[in-house]
Amino acid sequence: MLKLRVITALILAPLAIWATLALPGPWFAAILGVIFVLGAWEWSRLAGLQHVVLRHFYVAIFVGVMIALLNRDTIGYLLFFVAAAGVLWWCVALVFVLRFPHGGALWKRYPSLVSFAGMLTLLPGWVSLAGLQWHTGPRHALFVILLVWGADIGAYFAGHAYGRRKLAPQVSPGKTWAGVGGAMAATLLITLLGTPLLGLPLTALSWMLPLTLLVVAASIVGDLTESMFKRLAAVKDSGGLLPGHGGVLDRIDSLTAAAPVFVFGFFLWHALS
């Protein structure tokens, strides 16, 4: 499994870095949108939409909203507000994750809420990352991606080496507090190295470090939230498109939470400073 994960990552990572740095904003937003559409297709399964027509209808609604937002002026004007909506959703999701399995009956009783949760998960994540690359700059978008990747790698190795105490055993038994520590250590390193590359002075670390630690904490919530919905749907992976990684959702779940939190915090700090 680890070998498959590494091979897949070695193929996809350079492509993702190239696309983030080299593609114009509209093209990056469109290609990223294809990935998120695949995520929406997988979410329709988690939402219990068994009939293929209903799943296509769900994805069609998702694509319709994306097309409406795929405009330089619109996506720029709404960027902060969509990110704020995403932050609010992840605060709500955290409550459900912490209370799980209590509260799970609500999602089972009203499956339409799961469908709506998918929109709240995926749309702010796409708008935030695409808008960040389009309006703020490719390096900022890549910084967020590298934060998530670095945290994931740090959590994986620290968790396997030192993991004893479970983080959320009812939601994801494999996650440990040692993994969280590894993720935070990787975040500190990436922030220290990456902040000057964003054109920010070293004094910016006074607010960048708290922000990036919060971003990675949110990425963990994103991961746990998808795990919660997978447990409710009684599936191990969201799909099987990526060998060794599961589905598309299994790869972007952390990013869907990290991107809105970074955008919200980054723009809020600049507005207040």
Give CA separation, 259 vs 48, 58, 113, 154, 241, in Å: 27, 23, 23, 19, 23
Please give the model's pTM, rounded to 2 decimal places: 0.94
Residue 195 has pLDDT above 60, yes or no: yes
Return the structure tokens found at 177: 């507090």
Residues whose CB is less than 8 angstroms from the CB of residue 151 and which lie 6 or more positions away in sequence, other chains included: 183, 184, 186, 187, 216, 219, 220, 254
pLDDT classification of 5: cutoffs 50, 70, 90: low
Q: Residue range 104-133: average pLDDT?
A: 93
Spatial separation of the C-alpha atoms in residues 257 and 120, rounded to whole Å: 10
What is the predicted pLDDT for the residue at 249? Answer: 92
8 A C-beta contact, residue 208 and residue 195: yes
pLDDT classification of 240: cutoffs 50, 70, 90: low
Q: Residue range 69-98: average pLDDT?
A: 88
What is the predicted pLDDT for the residue at 170? Answer: 92
Spatial separation of the C-alpha atoms in residues 143 and 139, rounded to whole Å: 6
- Closest alpha carbon to 20 in 119, 149, 202, 154: 149
Q: Residue range 78-106: average pLDDT?
A: 93
Spatial separation of the C-alpha atoms in residues 52 and 61, rounded to whole Å: 14
pLDDT classification of 242: cutoffs 50, 70, 90: low
**Which residue has better confidence, 246 or 187?**
187
Report residue 155 CA to chain centroid gap: 16
CA dihedral 119, 90, 255, 161 (to 10 degrees): -140
- Closest alpha carbon to 259 in 36, 41, 47: 36
Q: Residue range 116-132: average pLDDT?
A: 96
Q: Residue range 134-139: average pLDDT?
A: 92
- Delimit the domains of the chain by residue range: 2-272
What is the predicted pLDDT for the residue at 23? Answer: 95
pLDDT classification of 71: cutoffs 50, 70, 90: confident
> What are 6-43's pLDDT values in tens digits?
676 777 889 999 999 999 999 999 999 999 999 999 99
What is the predicted pLDDT for the residue at 202? Answer: 87
What is the predicted pLDDT for the residue at 213? Answer: 97
> What are 158-174's pLDDT values in tens digits?
999 998 899 999 999 98
Spatial separation of the C-alpha atoms in residues 187 and 217, rounded to whole Å: 10
What is the predicted pLDDT for the residue at 163? Answer: 84
Q: Residue range 73-84: average pLDDT?
A: 83
What is the predicted pLDDT for the residue at 69? Answer: 84
